[in-house]
Every structure is written in structure tokens, then in C-alpha cells.
Amino acid sequence: MEKILLGSGFAAELHDYVTEDLAILYPGVKDLVKISVIEAGDHILTIDPGLRKSIEDFEVGARDQVRREYLTRGPCQSIGHNFPQKEYGKQRRSFQDAWFIQHPWLEYSVTKDATFCFWCYLFTPSRGNLIREDAFTKTGVHNDARVQFQSFQNQRQSVSHQLATHSHEMEVEYRTRLTAVLDVTRFLLKQGLAFRGHDESSSSLNKGNFLELLEWYSLRNDKVFRAVNQNAPKNNQMTSPKVQKELANACASEITCAIIDDIGDNYFSLMIDEARDMPVKEQMGVVLRYVNKNGCVIERFLAMVHVSDTSSISLKNAIDCLFAKHGLSLSRLRGQGYDGASNMRGEFNGLKALILRENPYARYVHCFAHQLQLVNVVVAKDNRIVSDFFQYVTMIVNATGASCKRRDQLRQHHHDRLVEQLEMMEIVLQNVHDDGVSNDNRGIVAGLIEKMENYQFVFVMYLMRRLLGITNELSLALQQKDQNIVQAIRLIEVVKTRLQDFRETGWETFLEEVRYFCEGNSIPVPIMEDNMRIRGRSRREGQVITHLHHYRVEIFSEVIDLIAQEMQNRFPEASTELLLLMSCLDPRDSFSKFSIHKLLRLAELYPEDFTITERMMLEDQLTTFIYDVRNDDDFIDIGDLGGFARKMVETGKHAIFPLIYRLIKLALVLPVATATVERVFSAMNVVKTDLRNKMGDEWMNDSLVVYIEREVFATIDNEVILQRFQKMQTRRMQLPPLNRIPHISGNDDGVGSSSSIH
């Protein structure tokens, strides 16, 4: 069926002609022609192509028949002759041959009692009535009809052409408007800003970020200005909250699809953590870790899922739904990392156990960063002297920062001088003492100053600064997204070694540093061989120890031993078989830890990934591999497993040694720390603030996906997002193909093009 868009007035005329007049000649015409009302008062004419051809053939035959049989009637006059009933029913035709030759516009009439030209029939308001003969000479009705008919026949002036041209212009404006709205949406999502305003009416001075930015944008781009706001159709503004959320969802969906496509059929690990958002709703952050096609370790935020409770069953159900939604398979999971909460790592009913029941190769790793934090917490609490030190530090910080005036005084000092004085502890509490407004406040400050100007306080301060400095490199390394399990284990061993070395050989140097500081600040230094009473005991007991025993044994050695013991207890992975086998892949010192026997054992731990045949092939491949890389200059300076994987892809050795590269990917995919998930919750505090605490779960998830994965978002083209948005539901307008739309940016800012403004 052929469809033609008609105006409301012309549609009514054509409808009468088709359903009344033509129905006499073609009884079944009403079934073949349909005129339906659409929005904005327009109509759609649907006509069968066969009927159109039949009508054209009939008109040609009828015109020839009229010439032969009726030669006596003039144009536009009443007639009395009857057509043959068998051929034309009750229709009548009347023409004079001379008139037809002289006036080729003469046609026929399908009315019952009149004949006049077809032009007048279509384009004269008095259609259906008799037209006077002077209409052709005085009133000009016939001439107007002739002009209109000729215009109708002219393709560039025809109604269909005008409608098509108008429709094309509307599509161009629609693309311009939608692209501008998308650019505004992209900007707000990338910055984590709110969209809506408190008052979005036209008279408002602050309509919210979305409308204000769109208006600012339109004032600086003529093409956009002609397509948005007051210049856009009232029913197609594309600025409603629903459109904003659908565009945000399209952006987030394309980011998620890009991540899923990047994972492909590779192995991946799952990292999860829980936190409460602003309106106290439990949210579960999900991050995936995988090795991409370039050999790089990637951690990507997948989704933020609202869970009704934090039981392991609820978390598992949420993960199953999320995996089903994005087409992820639990069978490709090779690692899971959590922060150590009981509902996560429970041996029997925790989330870890539930996943291991379905996939025994999803190895669990307790977040290394969380374990290191627990080590420091235990040291700060279990040793009485260190715990006392941190309590006083908290009081000092609170007293110093309690007044804006005191903070401003500190800020006035030059940076270098301020750092020097802070190290010498000259100005911190003296300002508090001078600024005290009450005797009580000054008394508290005086007590804190006295506590700070004590040798034991300085001793513990220097000790904790040294110990936290030893673990600082490990803490920073564990926060890197591309950190691998082999390198993390190596750093843990380095920390343990440094702690032991500091305990055995660092005492004399450390004691000298403390003595130098105290002498420079007039703090009395005790003689280490002198006796002192045991703290916490009654004086009547008379129990004494030397200062050396107190500071070296009860503080120095005990604190170091406590940290070393906690490091051993909190990082049991370093002694597990899996990690010991993976350490053979460490490329340092020309693969000094390389062992074919251990790597074959590692492959046996993953029977799902290495068949019996592949394990037999692996031994020969390992022999060739180690000889090749040890004699290749490209691999001399490689110091970690992640860099080695990237170098294998660059040199093409991942295709030469695919089984070994598979082992490397299994080692790299194991999660080290959940720092990426922690950053997700930090981002959630930026996106879902006090003023935006009513955000829906889907709206918050879409905003977080775009805000966190801005790197992926920058690679996604505008056209892809527009097409996804267009397919979400039936739209009033359709996007024309880009090859039919010229570049419409007026200021070379990318509006209307296929790429967005970043």
C-alpha cells in the first residue's frame, strides 16, 4: 500500500472524491483506499498501487470514448444524454471535439448532472454545483484552477514535495535539538552535577543546570538556537525529565556494553563491597577485573545495586540478576575479592562459599588493602603506650582545629616556615594557649603541651612515623588498578624484611634521631641506664626497670613484633599453594623463580581451562618459552608480571605461547584490593548528595556509571547513543541517516556532528 501525507482540508476533498464518486465506477474502492487521521490535524492517504493504475487506465479510455460519442456539448454545462448503462452506469460525458482541440484542459466529470474540466473539479470551491460559462472569462475561477493544477503537477511545488521538504527540515532540526540536549547531558553526567532545578518555569531566574546550560549553549550557536526552546515544537522540546533520564540511561548502557565487549570471552574477577547512601539505603558496588586484548589489567565499574538486606543469599541473587542482564557467565569467573565481612567471606554460608559451590575456580582473595589497615589498627589498639599516644594526638588535632581563628593564623605562615615549625612543634598548641578564652581551656591546652614536651611522646611519634613509612609503599601500591597478585605478595615480603631489619639493626640510629630532636626543643632526655618505676604499678611495690628496657623492649621491639605478627596472620595468601605457584611467573632477574614443574602443577589446579592434551603440550612450550625470553633483549628490563603481559602482546609472543599467556592471565585476573570499589562509594557521595537524596536507583546507577567510567565514555560516539535513545520507544520524529544530513554546526563546536564535545 502507498501512503501519502495530506493536509486536513485537501484530505476531506479527496476523501469525498474517492469514497463517493469513484465508488460508482469501482464498487470496491472503499476497501482499497483508506484515509486516517493522525496528529496535528493531518491525514494519511493509503491507496493500493493497483487501484491507482486502474484509475489511470480508465481515465484514458473514458476520454477517447467521450470524444467519439458526444460531440455536441460545451464545457461546464448541464447535459441530458445518458451514458450506456452497461459501460458507465449513470455517469454522463459531453465534449465538442473542437473545444477539446482548442482547450486541451477539457476533461470529464464524474458528477451526475454536469460536465466541466478536471482542473475545476479538483481546485474550484463550487465543486459539485454547476459552473457558469462566465467563470472562464470574468471571475477567473477556471484560470485559478488551472494554475493550481499546474502547480500540483510541478514536483517542486507539489504538496507531497512540500511535505517531504518540510519533513526533512524538521528531521534536521530534530537531530540538532537532540544532539544539543545530549551534549548538555554528557557534560552534566561527566561532572556528577544535578539536572533539575527547584523552579523550572519560564520566568525562573535559575531553571536548574540542564535548562540553564542548554539556554547558554543555544545563545552561542545559531543552529542550536533555531532548533530548541521557543523555536522547537511544543510537543517535541526534548527537555523533559523523562528524556533526560532516558538519555542518561542510553549513555550508561553504551558504556556497559563497551565494557562487556572488551571482556569478551576472557576470564574475569568479581569485586564487591557494601555501603549506605545518603537516604540510608544499602547499596552494593560491583567491579569487574579482567585482562584486555592489549594485555593490560583493567578494573571497571559495572553497576550499583540496591539490596534490601545484606545477607549472603540476597547478595548472590543480586549478582545472578546482574550477570543475566549483561550476559555474563559465572563459569568465566576466576576470582572474587571482598573486604572480609562475615557475610562475604563466610566459609559455609557466605557469598564466597555460595559462588564457589557453582564455580570452584573462582578463587577468593581477602582485600590486601583492608588487611593492611587491620594490621595498623591492631598495633594502635593492642599496645598500651601506642594507644595512649594516638588518643593524645586526637585531642591535639581537635584542639588545634576547633577555632577558625587558629586555623587562619596557621595559614598565614609561609609554607616552608610552617612545615619547619610544625616539625619542631613550636606553634601548634602555643596558638591555642594564647587564644584561650577561659581558664578551663587554657588548662587543657597546658596539659597537652606538657604531654607533647615529653620524651616518651616524641619517641612513640618517631617510631610510628618510621613504621607507617615502611608500610606506605605497600599501601599506595595496593590502590593501583593494575596491581597483580604476584607483585603484591612480593611487596608484602619486602615489608616483612624491612621490619625485621629495622628491629635488628635500626635501634641505635633511631635513638639518635629522637635524642637530636629532643635536644633541639629543650625536651629532657633520660639516661637509658637509669632506673624507672614500672608504669601502672603501685609505688609501694618498688618494682623498677631501666629506661633502656622500657623504650627498647616494651615499646620498640614489642611494636615491631606486633606488626610483623599481624602481617603474617593477615596475609596467609603468601603461603598458599596457588600463590606460591604463581610466583614462578615473576619475570624479575630473568625469571629466577621459574619452575616448569610448579607451573604444570598450576595448570592442574585449573582443569576447566587446561585439558589433558594442553597440559601435555604445556611442558614443551614452557621449555621453549623460558629459553626464548631469557635471550630476548625486549624482556630484559621487565620487572613485573603486568608489564610482561603487555610486552608479550606487543611482540606477538602471546600468540606463539598461548598456553603460557593463559597462565599469566589467570594470575593477573586475581583481585588484589577492593580500592576501586571504595572509590565508587566516594563517587556516590559526590553524585547522591543531601540535595539529591531522592534519586531513584536506576537514575543513580546511570549517573555513577558515566561519572566513574569517563574514560570509556569519551570513546563513545554521539550517534551510537542517539540511536539507542531512539529505539527505546516510539518517537514523534525519526533521526535521518547521517549520510543525508549535512554538517549543521555553525560555530565548529561539534553540535550536530557524530561526536560530542568533551
Average pLDDT of every residue of the chain: 76
* Cell 610482561 sits on residue: 644
Q: Would residue 111 count as lying in a domain?
A: yes
- In a shared domain, residues 609 and 679: no
Long-range contacts of 87-96 (CB under 8 A, 24+ apart): 88/25, 88/62, 89/24, 89/25, 90/24, 91/24, 91/25, 93/62, 93/65, 93/66, 93/69, 94/66, 94/70, 95/66, 95/67, 95/70, 95/71, 96/71, 96/72
**Closest CA relative to residue 362, chosen from 398, 386, 334:** 334
Q: Would residue 227 count as lying in a domain?
A: no
CB-CB contact of 679 with 707 (8 Å): no
Instruction: Kindly indicate the confidence band of residue 21, based on its pLDDT and cuts at 50, 70 and 90.
Output: very low
Cell of 704: 555513577
Task: Note the pLDDT tens digit of each residue in 532-541.
Answer: 877 655 555 5
pLDDT confidence of residue 438:
52
Helix or strand holding residue 271 (H, E): strand 268-276
pLDDT confidence of residue 725:
94
Half-sphere exposure for 179 (CA within 13 Å, toward CB):
31
Q: Which of 527, 554, 574 is the last residue of a domain?
A: 574
Q: What is the dihedral of CA 446, 448, 450, 451, to 10 degrees?
A: 170
| Pairwise CA distance, residues 707 & 683, whole Å | 8
SS3 (DSSP) at 722: helix
Task: Note the pLDDT tens digit of each residue in 161-180.
Answer: 555 555 778 888 889 999 99
SS3 (DSSP) at 3: strand
Q: Is the pLDDT of residue 749 over 50?
A: no
Least confident of 96-110, 290-304, 491-505, 553-567: 96-110
- In a shared domain, residues 513 and 632: no
- In a shared domain, residues 266 and 344: yes
**Closest CA relative to residue 495, chosen from 471, 520, 525:** 471
Sign of CA dihedral 610, 611, 612, 614: negative
- In a shared domain, residues 66 and 99: yes
Q: Would residue 54 count as lying in a domain?
A: yes
Least confident of 218-227, 411-420, 462-471, 725-734: 411-420
| Pairwise CA distance, residues 241 & 247, whole Å | 10
CB-CB contact of 585 with 492 (8 Å): no
Q: Which of 82, 110, 142 is the last residue of a domain?
A: 142
Single-letter residue type at 488: A
| Pairwise CA distance, residues 466 & 472, whole Å | 10
Least confident of 65-79, 290-304, 507-521, 639-653: 65-79
- In a shared domain, residues 560 and 584: no
| Pairwise CA distance, residues 6 & 38, whole Å | 10
- In a shared domain, residues 553 and 603: no
Q: Which of 142, 173, 191 is the last residue of a domain?
A: 142
Helix or strand holding residue 270 (H, E): strand 268-276
Cell of 708: 566513574
pLDDT confidence of residue 748:
41
Cell of 115: 460536465
Among 112-121, 228-237, 505-514, which range has the highest average pLDDT? 505-514
| Pairwise CA distance, residues 459 & 11, whole Å | 96
- In a shared domain, residues 570 and 582: no
- In a shared domain, residues 657 and 684: no
* CATH, residue 266: 3.30.420.40
Contacts of 203 (CB under 8 A, 6+ apart): none
Number of domains into which the chain is organized: 4
| Pairwise CA distance, residues 105 & 116, whole Å | 10
Instruction: Kindly indicate the confidence band of residue 396, based on its pLDDT and cuts at 50, 70 and 90.
Output: confident
Tell which wins on pLDDT, 11 or 435. Answer: 435
pLDDT confidence of residue 435:
55
Domain of 656?
576-669
Instruction: Kindly indicate the confidence band of residue 624, based on its pLDDT and cuts at 50, 70 and 90.
Output: very high
pLDDT confidence of residue 468:
87
| Pairwise CA distance, residues 92 & 422, whole Å | 113
- In a shared domain, residues 527 and 608: no
- In a shared domain, residues 659 and 563: no
CB-CB contact of 734 with 168 (8 Å): no
Helix or strand holding residue 447 (H, E): helix 439-452
Instruction: Kindly indicate the confidence band of residue 588, based on its pLDDT and cuts at 50, 70 and 90.
Output: confident
SS3 (DSSP) at 131: coil
- In a shared domain, residues 628 and 663: yes
Tell which wins on pLDDT, 419 or 288. Answer: 288
Least confident of 254-258, 578-582, 736-740: 736-740
pLDDT confidence of residue 273:
87
Among 34-48, 315-329, 366-380, which range has the highest average pLDDT? 315-329
**Closest CA relative to residue 713, chosen from 188, 179, 176:** 188
Helix or strand holding residue 721 (H, E): helix 718-727
Q: Would residue 750 count as lying in a domain?
A: no
Q: Is the pLDDT of residue 649 over 90?
A: yes
* Vertex 242 angle, CA 165 and 191, to 5°: 100
**Closest CA relative to residue 645, chosen from 616, 674, 666:** 666
Return the number of other C-beta atoms located less than 10 Å from residue 39's C-beta.
7
SS3 (DSSP) at 531: strand
For range 450-473, the mean pLDDT: 87
Instruction: Kindly indicate the confidence band of residue 707, based on its pLDDT and cuts at 50, 70 and 90.
Output: very high
| Pairwise CA distance, residues 13 & 326, whole Å | 54
CB-CB contact of 269 with 336 (8 Å): yes
- In a shared domain, residues 604 and 633: yes
Instruction: Say if residue 721 is exposed, middle or buried (CB neighbours under 10 Å; 0-12, 13-18, 19+).
Output: buried
Q: Would residue 746 count as lying in a domain?
A: no
φ, ψ (nearest 5 deg) of residue 514: -65, -45
Q: Would residue 726 count as lying in a domain?
A: no
pLDDT confidence of residue 367:
84
* Cell 598565614 sits on residue: 412
Instruction: Kindly indicate the confidence band of residue 308, based on its pLDDT and cuts at 50, 70 and 90.
Output: confident
Q: Would residue 206 count as lying in a domain?
A: no
Q: Is the pLDDT of residue 662 over 70?
A: yes
Instruction: Say if residue 68 is exposed, middle or buried (CB neighbours under 10 Å; 0-12, 13-18, 19+).
Output: exposed
Q: Would residue 232 count as lying in a domain?
A: no
